[in-house]
């Protein structure tokens, strides 16, 4: 009757973003559940697209799962030292209180940077290993954007990355971890090998629905065999100014030779496609003109990714460059969301539906110019709804007061929410009366995850770079800690390290 300790700690850190992650951010429910500890954890995560949920569902019936701590905070700047130490202390305390455990499963992200640590997951795994010793198997799931470090590999026995971006396979990845752990308990720990690649990949072009990532992941999965247990390609999270930022290959196998050969071969195959990780970007005004051209040609809906203000990458969802572009080019039938501004949403609720007032937008990032415009309050919502899309599906959102505002004199609407989350589920818009499939032009504050629920058969997707903290092109970021010799994008300039 194996006894498996389980837990999770998620944060994707954009070290160039404006807002740090506090302990309250991990406790708060938004797009994902708030901090969970002990026995309520497994039931609260059940049937959600979360690795720990998938692991629990796939675990053999004779396993006993022993919950520790699971938490997540929206991507942002560094995790505050006090928050990290408090959560890690909880996990170590819970782990130390468990007796006769046979293994540990951790649901991790892999790109956590703290105020006092470049490698949040590596340090967490080091402390866990120090607590349980070297014999207990430790397996962890990783987000596709993990910046894999030497410490993470050293202090774990098996790391398994997501294979889809948008991440529609998070629960599935947890299920794969359960199967691999069962094999470890039968056969012992596998040999491991890894390679770090020497170039960065923009998150927009890591998408597995398009090339080259689509074929790379298919090839990795096809190469797995009885001898090659698992391969993962982690393209990394570029807006993290740490030494070990960037893509990595992980391979686990029955022999060291098999693992090393697989890691070497896969790294070489991916490096050969470096130049293909580049799809280009539009400016705010030019993307609206292109959207209008496509609409006139019969395409519908057109979706514009406001990628540099993506809350899923560390943005706050409150820049107005794309809204200014819609106004400047007189876009018709456009809806922008989610614009995150609790004061604006609260004022709309105070004024009431059917009323008008002057709203202020933007001014929250360099080159993001603030402006005011009269708005009509079309509809209000409490921000509580159940998600139905492939990415957030199964989760109950609580985004605080929401409002649908129409800019007076223009056929442009803005969906405002009080808690930040990227626009990746159609229910976010339906909650305030907008049906995305019937909307000619959608501007979404997201980079890629929106594609899971906002890819329309007769539509088109465009990527725009309005001002914001989630810099799309790594070559534009002022790295100070990145290791020497790393190319900043597809054949881009060498890092200044």
What pLDDT does 490 receive? 53
Phi, psi of 409 (to 5 degrees): 80, 0
For residue 58, pLDDT beyond 60: yes
For residue 403, pLDDT beyond 70: yes
Mean pLDDT in residue range 278-283: 89
Confidence tier at 213 by pLDDT (50, 70, 90)? very high
Task: Provide the H-helix boundaries in 77-162.
Answer: 81-96, 120-132, 150-154
Q: Where are the domains of the chain?
A: 3-276, 284-472
Cβ partners under 8 Å of residue 24, min gap 6: none
Q: Which two tokens stand for residue 203?
A: 């998150």
Confidence tier at 491 by pLDDT (50, 70, 90)? very low
The three-class DSSP label of residue 65 is strand
The three-class DSSP label of residue 381 is strand
The three-class DSSP label of residue 395 is coil
Phi, psi of 139 (to 5 degrees): -125, 140
Summary count for the chain: helices (H), strands (E) = 13, 19
Q: Which helix (H) or strand (E) holds 54?
A: helix 51-58
User: Average pLDDT of the chain?
Assistant: 95
pTM of the model: 0.92
Q: Considering just the CA atoms, what is the radius of gyration of the chain in Å?
A: 22
Residues in the chain: 497
CA angle (481, 484, 490) in 5-degree steps? 100
What pLDDT does 29 receive? 75
Residue of 58, 52, 284 lying closest to 178 (CA atoms):
58
Mean pLDDT in residue range 428-434: 98
For residue 246, pLDDT beyond 50: yes
Confidence tier at 279 by pLDDT (50, 70, 90)? confident
- Beta-bridge partner residues of 413: 335, 406
Mean pLDDT in residue range 475-479: 94
Q: How many CA atoms lie within 13 A of 148 on its CB side?
A: 27
The three-class DSSP label of residue 446 is coil
């Amino acid at each position: 009757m194996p006894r498996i300790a389980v837990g999770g700690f998620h944060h994707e850190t954009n070290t160039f973003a404006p807002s740090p992650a506090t302990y309250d951010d991990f406790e708060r429910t938004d797009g994902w559940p708030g901090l969970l500890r002990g026995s309520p954890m497994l039931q609260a995560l059940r049937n959600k697209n979360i690795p720990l949920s998938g692991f629990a569902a796939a675990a053999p019936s004779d396993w006993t799962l022993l919950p520790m701590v699971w938490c997540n905070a929206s991507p942002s700047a560094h995790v505050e030292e006090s928050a990290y130490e408090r959560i890690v202390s909880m996990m170590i305390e819970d782990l130390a209180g468990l007796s006769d455990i046979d293994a540990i499963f951790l649901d991790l992200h892999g790109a956590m940077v703290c105020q006092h640590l470049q490698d949040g997951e590596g340090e967490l795994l080091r402390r866990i290993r120090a607590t349980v010793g070297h014999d207990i198997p430790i397996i962890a799931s990783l987000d596709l954007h993990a910046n894999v470090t030497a410490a993470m590999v050293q202090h774990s026995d098996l790391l398994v990355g997501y294979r889809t971006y948008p991440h529609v396979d998070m629960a599935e990845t947890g299920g794969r971890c359960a199967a691999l752990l069962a094999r470890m308990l039968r056969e012992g720990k596998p040999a491991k090998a890894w390679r770090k690649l020497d170039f960065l990949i923009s998150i927009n072009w890591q998408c597995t629905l398009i090339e080259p990532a689509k074929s790379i992941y298919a090839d990795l999965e096809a190469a797995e065999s009885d001898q090659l247990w698992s391969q993962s390609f982690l393209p990394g999270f570029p807006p993290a100014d740490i030494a070990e930022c960037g893509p990595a290959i992980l391979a686990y196998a029955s022999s060291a030779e098999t693992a090393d050969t697989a890691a070497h071969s896969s790294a070489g195959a991916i490096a050969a496609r470096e130049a293909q990780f580049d799809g280009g970007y539009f400016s705010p005004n030019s993307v609206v003109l292109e959207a209008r051209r496509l609409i006139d040609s019969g395409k519908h809906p057109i979706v514009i990714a406001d990628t540099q203000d993506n809350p899923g990458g560390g943005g706050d969802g409150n820049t107005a460059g794309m809204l200014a572009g819609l106004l400047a080019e007189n876009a018709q039938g456009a809806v922008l969301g989610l614009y995150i501004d609790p004061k604006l949403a609260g004022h709309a609720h105070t004024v009431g539906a059917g009323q008008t007032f002057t709203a202020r937008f933007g001014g929250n990032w360099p080159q993001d110019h603030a402006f005011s415009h009269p708005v009509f309050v079309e509809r209000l919502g409490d921000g509580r709804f159940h998600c139905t899309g492939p990415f957030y599906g199964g989760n109950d959102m609580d985004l605080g007061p929401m409002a649908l505002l129409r800019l007076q004199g223009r056929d442009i609407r803005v969906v405002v929410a009080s808690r930040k989350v990227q626009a990746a589920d159609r229910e976010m818009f339906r909650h305030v009366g907008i049906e995305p499939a019937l909307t000619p032009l959608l501007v979404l504050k997201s980079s890629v995850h929106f594609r899971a629920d906002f890819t329309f058969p007769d539509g088109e997707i465009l990527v725009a770079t309005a001002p914001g903290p989630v810099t799309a092109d790594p070559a534009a970021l002022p790295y100070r800690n990145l290791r020497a010799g790393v190319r900043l994008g597809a054949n881009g300039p060498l890092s200044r390290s």
